[in-house]
Amino acid sequence: GKCGENLIWKIYEDEKCLIISGEGAMDSYEGYSNWEEYTELFDTVEYSGKLENYGEYAFYNCKNLKSIELAPVIGAHAFEGCSNITSTITSGEFVLKEIGDYAFYGCDNLGGLTIKNPECVIADSPYVFPEDMTIFGVAGSTAQAHAEKYGLEFVDITETTFEMIADGELGNNLYWSLWSS
């Protein structure tokens, strides 16, 4: 199906993956997920191309989601209630630019999120992230200010050096790597 003017989506049931292809902005939805009737068929969301954002309510309450590839802009309520997300994926020179209100609220198994962009716009609300979230970011950043204002744990990665411990391939154009600080 379509999920934006120049975006299409396909579910690869054997891989339990929804892949968004194309270039541009994703549609926003009003209080429901576009994939509500298909949520049992996938637990991972990835994209190929240049996805600008996840629209509002894009994956709202998709309880089966375990892993998501982040887009530069995460709309309000985009992953709210996705309580089984445990990991996020980024690739290349990815920059997280904006996170909307309730974007990750209720993602109680997502222990942390790395926000390297010191000027990432984060909604001024205590309901953007789950209460036990750890934010990894740059000292003096908007991520640190948000964490401190709303009582979230913040870990400064400004001078942290990382060493790759292992890596491998997960599937079609999907790779993983494990790093240690």
- The answer to whether 81 and 58 are in contact (CB under 8 A) is no
Q: What is the pTM of this model?
A: 0.86
- Give pLDDT tens digits for 65-110: 999 999 999 999 999 999 999 999 887 678 999 999 999 999 999 9
Residue-level pLDDT at 181: 58
Q: Is 37 helix (H, G, I), strand (E, B) or coil?
A: helix
Are 27 and 4 a contacting pair, CB within 8 Å? yes
Amino acid at 27: D
Q: Does pLDDT of 135 surpass 80?
A: yes
- Check residue 173 and give its pLDDT: 66
Query: Measured between alpha carbons, how far is residue 170 from residues 70, 105, 163, 167 in Å?
Result: 17, 28, 20, 10
Instruction: Please report the pLDDT score of residue 167 as a whole number.
Output: 77
Q: Rounded distance, CA 86 to CA 109, Å?
A: 5
How many Cβ atoms are within 10 Å of 5's Cβ, its own excluded?
11
Would you state the pLDDT for residue 161?
Answer: 61
pLDDT of 158: 85
Q: Where are the beta strands (DSSP E) in the chain?
A: 2-4, 7-12, 17-24, 44-51, 53-54, 67-69, 73-74, 87-89, 98-99, 112-115, 121-122, 134-137, 153-156, 163-171, 174-180
